[in-house]
Amino acid sequence: MQTEMFLQLMLPGFTTGCVYALVALGYVLCANVSGVVNFAQGEFVMLGGMTAAWLIGQDVDLIWAIAAAVALGAAMGAVQEVATLAPVRRAPHFIQITTTVGFAVVLRGLTLIVAGKDALSIPGFSGDDTFELAGAVLPLQSLWVWGATALLLAATFGFLRYTATGRAVRACSINLQAARLMGVDAGRLRLLVLAATGGSAALAGVVITPIVLASWDAGIAYSIKGFIGAILGGFRSPGAAVLGGIGIGLVESFASGYVSSGWQDFIVDGLLLAYLLLRGGILLRGRAAAMAGES
């Protein structure tokens, strides 16, 4: 009974954790190549879910709706880099961060105008049935979430490991300055990473929508939880960020199951705050301080 309850909480937590993991990965890759923490990261999840759901509502086929959502996410990522981040590249760091918050607000606002205030849903890709795994009952869509996450992670890590461009991204994560001096075209990488993380977050948003609904104001929650995942992973290693994101999904699910769903966000945010305050000194000496900078 206890184990069943545990699994019934763990597996859905793992499913939402997959989305947080992709957001966390986006944070880390973005910060590595540009030195900016992109607070619009979670909005791309929202954007993907809302775009697909809205298009399906307009009788567009699922596959085209998914393609359009991913394309829009990638395009918006590129727009963010070109229109908002590139112009403030030399501005004080706090201005760069605030710019990403402004861009997040624009994405939310545009979605609100186009798709409206109501939460939207998508039917499960393979129907809305459930299946049983080790005694836990899960929606079939969970398999799609896991599959898409596995695919995106494999693609990302394969890219990082086996391509020259991927190696350049990793070089940036070790030392941004040195990588630039070694001839890494940081501008091109930033564009690539922003577009890629925008697109993959959008895909995550599409596959999770049959389970949790999409809404114009849902992005901030993804931004925060993905951030927690990234920071638990040290904000540097993509792999650690993924684990951190999944961990947050689990914590959130256990908090809602064993405590109460009302207090769930309190617990997760409290965990973040406690962690930040306790680790404050260490973070300041590490890379986070360098990126947060003095400016």
Partner 1 sequence: MRDALLARRSLLAWVVFTVGVIAYPLLFPGSYLLGVGISAGTMAVSTVGLVLLLGLAHQLAIGQAAFSMVGGYASALLCTEAGWDPFLAMLLGSVVAMLFAYVIGAPILKLRGYVLAMATLALHLMLIVFALQVGFTGGPIGVTGLPKFALLGLPLGGDRAYFYTVWALALASVFIGLNIDRSRIGRALRAIAASETAAGSVGIDTARYKVQMFVVGAGMASVSGSLVVHYLRATDPTVFSFNYSVNLITATIIGGLASVWGGAVGASVIIGLRELLRALSLPLWESVIMGALTVLVLITLPSGIVGLISAGFARVVGRSQASRVSLAPFAPEALPPVETRPANGTMLEVTSALRAFGNLKAVNDVSFTVQEGSITALIGPNGAGKTTMFNLIGGYQPLGAGTVRFRGRNIEALPPRDIALLGMGRTFQNLLLFDNMTVLENVMCGAHRHARQGLLPVAFGLPAVAREEAAMRTLAADCLRFVGLRGAEALLPSSLSFGHQRLVEIARALALRPSLLLMDEPASGLNDSETELLSELVLRIAALGTTVLLVEHDMRFVMGLADHVVVMDHGEKMAEGSTDAIRNDPKVIAAYLGSEPVSEHAA
What is the DSSP code (8-state) at residue 89? Answer: T
Structure tokens at 227: 């951030």
The distance of closest approach from Cβ of residue 110 to partner 1 in the complex, given in angstroms and rounded to an integer, is: 6
Alpha helices in 141-236 (DSSP H): 141-162, 164-174, 176-181, 186-212, 219-232
Q: Does 97 bind partner 1 (CB under 8 A)?
A: yes
Which span sits near partner 1 by CB under 8 A: 53-61, 70-78, 81-89, 193-201? 81-89
Residue with tokens 């577009």: 195
Q: Which is nearer to partner 1, 210 or 229 (CB)?
A: 229
How far, in Å, CA of 242 to CA of 166, rounded? Answer: 17
Site string for partner 1, 265-284 (x = CB under 8 A): xx--xx-xx--xx--xx-xx
Q: Which is nearer to partner 1, 55 or 221 (CB)?
A: 221
Pairing of strands 130-133, 136-139: antiparallel
Q: Which is nearer to partner 1, 111 or 149 (CB)?
A: 111
Query: What is the chain's alpha carbon radius of gyration, rounded to the nearest angstrom?
Result: 19
What is the DSSP code (8-state) at residue 218? Answer: -
Alpha helices in the chain (DSSP H): 2-34, 41-57, 62-79, 93-115, 141-162, 164-174, 176-181, 186-212, 219-232, 238-254, 264-285, 287-292
Q: Which of 24, 29, 104, 251 binds partner 1 (CB under 8 A)?
A: 104
The interface with partner 1 within residues 191-220 (CB under 8 A) comprises 220
Q: Which of 79, 82, 106, 243 binds partner 1 (CB under 8 A)?
A: 106
Site string for partner 1, 22-41 (x = CB under 8 A): ---------------x-x--
Contact at 8 Å (CB) between 223 and 104? yes
Q: Which is nearer to partner 1, 134 or 282 (CB)?
A: 282
Instruction: Name the amino acid, one letter, at 255.
Output: A
Q: Does 258 bind partner 1 (CB under 8 A)?
A: no
Q: Which is nearer to partner 1, 11 or 288 (CB)?
A: 288
Interaction site with partner 1 (CB under 8 A): 37, 39, 83-84, 87-88, 91-95, 97-99, 101-110, 112-113, 220, 224, 227, 231, 260, 262-263, 265-266, 269-270, 272-273, 276-277, 280-281, 283-284, 288-289, 291-295
